């Protein structure tokens, strides 16, 4: 029996999704409209699948640590990595507070080997959207320091009660981090429980 007559196919031989076709550039070469459409479709799908009687029982405390170093000025994502990241972060903030209405968020940026808290923990999502939109004017300089960002977030999170969730989301565009000491020690003592 010849190979071409065998009706059995392997999974990798079957049809595939062309995921790159879902994203289209507009006339100016930006992907923003296509990304916004994909996000809206995902929101609608989540709303359809949402259970009516679901209850949220956990208060979440989240720090977003954002790389604002020179690496975020790269134009591999149009117009820059930072602007694409900020647009997606804006949508993430809306979703986070929609799904976790009693939770709190804070924002820390890393640039020039330092970490800076630009928003303390709080629950007003409009404040965070405004702050994220203001980051478009931030000077992208130097290298990020992941260790300084983690330690700054840890100072605030360790004061919170143990019944609340304490989380950190790191968004990095740089492939390196410039830390004052061994970051592995910081990570190893990072157990908040």
Q: What is the pLDDT of residues 23-44, one digit of tens each?
A: 666 677 666 667 777 778 888 8
Tell whether the model's pLDDT for residue 99 goes beyond 70.
yes
Flag the least confident range among 19-28, 53-62, 113-122, 137-146.
19-28
Q: What is the pLDDT of residue 103?
A: 93
Q: Going by C-beta distance under 8 Å and a sequence separation of 6 or more, which residues neighbour residue 127?
A: 119
User: pLDDT tier at 14 (50, 70, 90 boundaries)?
Assistant: low
Calculate what percentage of the chain has a pLDDT beyond 70: 77
* Rounded mean pLDDT, 102-114: 95
What pLDDT shows up at residue 16? 53
Q: Quick one: pLDDT at residue 117?
A: 96
Does residue 4 register a pLDDT over 80?
Answer: no
pLDDT digits (tens, 9 = 90+) for 146-174: 999 999 999 999 888 878 889 999 999 99
The rounded distance, in Å, linking the Cα atoms of 117 and 168 is 13
Residues 6+ apart with CB under 8 A from 143: 69, 70, 71, 112, 113, 174, 176, 177, 178
Q: Find, among 149, 152, 107, the residue nearest to 125 by Cα.
A: 107
Backbone torsions φ then ψ of 166, nearest 5 degrees:
-125, 120
DSSP state of 181: S
Could you tell me if 157 and 118 are in contact, meaning their C-beta atoms sit under 8 angstroms apart?
A: no
More confident position, 50 or 76: 76
Residues 166 and 153: their CA atoms lie apart, in Å, by 10
- Mean pLDDT on 47-75: 80
pLDDT tens-place string over residues 65-94:
999 999 999 998 889 999 999 999 999 999
Q: What is the mean pLDDT of the chain?
A: 83
């Amino acid at each position: 029996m010849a190979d071409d007559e065998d009706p059995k196919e392997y999974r990798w031989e079957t049809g595939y999704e062309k995921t790159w076709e879902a994203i289209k550039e507009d006339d100016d070469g930006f992907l923003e409209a296509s990304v916004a459409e994909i996000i809206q479709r995902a929101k609608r799908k989540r709303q359809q699948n949402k259970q009516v009687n679901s209850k949220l029982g956990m208060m979440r405390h989240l720090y977003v640590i954002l790389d604002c170093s020179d690496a975020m000025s790269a134009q591999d994502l149009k117009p820059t990595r930072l602007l694409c990241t900020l647009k997606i972060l804006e949508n993430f903030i809306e979703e986070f507070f929609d799904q976790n209405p009693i939770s709190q968020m804070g924002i820390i940026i890393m640039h020039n080997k330092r970490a800076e808290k630009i928003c303390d923990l709080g629950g007003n999502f409009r404040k965070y959207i405004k702050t994220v939109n203001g980051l478009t004017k931030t000077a992208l300089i130097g290298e990020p320091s992941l260790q300084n960002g983690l330690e700054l977030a840890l100072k605030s999170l360790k004061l919170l009660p143990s019944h609340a969730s304490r989380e950190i989301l790191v968004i990095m565009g740089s492939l390196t981090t410039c830390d004052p000491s061994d970051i592995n020690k910081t990570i190893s003592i990072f157990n908040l429980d």
